Chains A and B, each alone.
Chain A
Amino acid sequence: MVTKRRAGRPPEAYLPLPPATFHILLALADGELHGYAIMKGVAARSAGTVRLGPGTLYGSLKRLLQAGLVEEGGERPDPERGDERRRYYRLTPLGLSVVRAEARRLDAMVRAARRKKLIGVRPA
């Protein structure tokens, strides 16, 4: 789990990311989001298989902020919901590099699994 900011650490040093962390960073790759939007985005992208509760989401965001992968983008009401002010979060350049590195790592694993015909072929 990512817990500390270390100056000069390459993005690969943060890998592998816990699934919840990867999903949060993936959601933030679209731009600034508040907590509920991140939660909804993760649930939609994973077809409901990954459900982040408030504790898991904000616990992960706290660690990501400490690690410098995510930063706060200010507080404002959600224009769609029009209710109370919400805190927005966005990726830092380091966070973007880390999520890209993790995506490349996962892609390489999927390609290896495909070469071994573990996926992508119909079972006999």
Chain B
Amino acid sequence: MSAERIYRLLLRAYPPDFRAEYGREMVLLFRDQCRESDVRTIGFWAAVIWDVARSAPALRAEAWCTRGRESTRTIEVIMKLAAILTVLVGVFGILNAMVEWGAGLTGTIGGMHALALVLGVFASALLLAAGAAILRPTQRGRHAPRLALLASLVLIVAARLLHPWMSVFSQLVGIGFPVAILIALYWPRRASPAGA
């Protein structure tokens, strides 16, 4: 196996982007080194391996950091979309409760059902507030939306206990949605100056 082929194999230790950008230049430089050195000596290969071992891990780490920053930006976009959805679900929840309340005026609604509806309206309002807080982050970061989501979750569970005939859809949205957003908010990730 020629020295250049061995060096090309060693180049695989570097990140693909770096290889694509500088691989050809590095091989040219290695060729120059081969012309002026004895490639059959241990010293030559020790210097080559030392150079790769010294520079490749640092460049790999830099590439991972860059990728980490990019994935953080993607998560922030997803969080913004989730926040918009949270606001819409909150508005939908309030409208739904108002429609049910209107139906209740005709006499088909009981005391516990009415209380569950009031709790549902508060839970939806808290969802709306949480979505707005995620969209417009403050100095206190994600503390406010977390509290709002937890409170909304507690209210929906209370409403479900008061009114066992709550629709499966309402339960899924009212309980599953805040839980999903809370998991996303508590998920560890790198801080970004762009914010979420």
- Which residues of A approach B to under 8 Å, CB–CB? 3, 35-36, 39, 51, 53-59, 61-62, 81, 83-84, 86-87
Given contacts A58-B29, A62-B22, 4 further A-B contacts (CB under 8 A): A36-B29, A53-B55, A56-B51, A87-B25
CA distance A84 to B47 in the complex (A): 25
- Which residues of B approach A to under 8 Å, CB–CB? 14, 18, 21-22, 25-26, 28-30, 32-33, 47-48, 50-52, 54-56, 58-59, 62
From DSSP, what is the main secondary structure of chain B's interface residues? helix
What's the least CB distance linking A72 to chain B, in Å? Answer: 11
What's the least CB distance linking B131 to chain A, in Å? Answer: 34
CB <8 Å contact, A3 and B32: no
Which A residue's beta carbon lies closest to that of B36? A40
- Say which residue of B28, B32, B59 sits within 8 Å of A59 (CB atoms): B59
CA distance A61 to B26 in the complex (A): 12
CB <8 Å contact, B47 and A51: yes
CA distance A62 to B25 in the complex (A): 12
CB <8 Å contact, A57 and B54: no
CA distance A113 to B194 in the complex (A): 46
B55: chain A residues at CB < 8 Å are 53, 55-56, 59
CB <8 Å contact, A55 and B54: yes
CA distance A16 to B1 in the complex (A): 43
CB <8 Å contact, B30 and A59: no
CB <8 Å contact, B21 and A54: no
